[in-house]
Amino acid sequence: MRRLIDRVMEQPWVYRLWQAPFAEMKFAPVLRALDTRTVRRVLDVGCGPGTNASRFTGAEYVGVDINEKYLAVGRSRHSGQFLQADLATADLSHLGRFDLILVNSFLHHLPDRAVDDVLGRIAGLLEPDGRVHILELVLPERPGLATLMARLDRGRHARTIDAWRTRFERHFEPVALEPFMLGGWLWAMVYFQGGAPTCGSR
């Protein structure tokens, strides 16, 4: 059953339909912390079909995803670059540096080693005064509906707040960490904002 769900969700129109009711609520912590009009270059890590591309129309937008079907939809609907790459292994250094890097609900699809690899590489793409904004699925420590939804998610690696904090702060200087609920009590989420790592912080 989970494989069937995964295959269905890989279709861009299904993904967009599923995300539509929650996209604004999920992105709200980022908007509270950021004036998107001031962004110069944005890297959208695991961009899907360009769900957040329209928020950065005044910036140079680069979206990266492994799913070419998603990317094709993004290219047809938005300006900017949509590049195919396996983010767990790809070298993105040729893209230059960014003052904003967005990671929206991508890392819970990856095991621990791959998460550290991705975060380590994108940390090197952040301008000295840039910020990374991460939104991720949390596995609550207490049983409940949000715990069930996290375990049913096609991303197999939802983590506790403390586990996410440890990974994020290993690669970025912490600026903010904000737990929140999405869809009422359906999903537990965390928003993290971080700065470029300082010498000796990694």
Q: What is the pLDDT of residues 14-52, one digit of tens each?
A: 445 455 567 789 999 999 999 998 999 999 999 999 999
pLDDT tens digit sequence for 91-101: 999 999 999 99
The structure's pTM equals 0.88
* Selection from 116, 118, 16 nearest residue 67 by Cα: 16
* pLDDT grade for 64, boundaries at 50, 70 and 90: very high
* pLDDT grade for 185, boundaries at 50, 70 and 90: confident
Quote the percentage of the chain above a pLDDT of 90: 77
pLDDT at 105: 94
pLDDT at 132: 98
User: In the chain, what are the helix, strand and coil shares in percent, each to the nearest 5?
Assistant: 40, 25, 35
pLDDT at 71: 97
Pairing of strands 187-195, 173-182: antiparallel
Looking at the predicted structure, is the pLDDT value of residue 8 above 70?
Answer: no
* pLDDT grade for 110, boundaries at 50, 70 and 90: very high
**Domain-by-domain residue ranges, the chain?**
2-195
Please provide the CATH number assigned to the domain covering 2-195.
Answer: 3.40.50.150
pLDDT at 21: 61
* pLDDT grade for 5, boundaries at 50, 70 and 90: very low
Cβ contact 177:192 at 8 Å: yes
pLDDT at 139: 97
* pLDDT grade for 7, boundaries at 50, 70 and 90: low
Separation CA 97–CA 95 (nearest Å): 7
Looking at the predicted structure, is the pLDDT value of residue 175 above 90?
Answer: yes
Looking at the predicted structure, is the pLDDT value of residue 199 above 70?
Answer: no
Tokens (6 digits) for 18: 């599923």
Kindly state the average pLDDT of the residues 153-159.
91
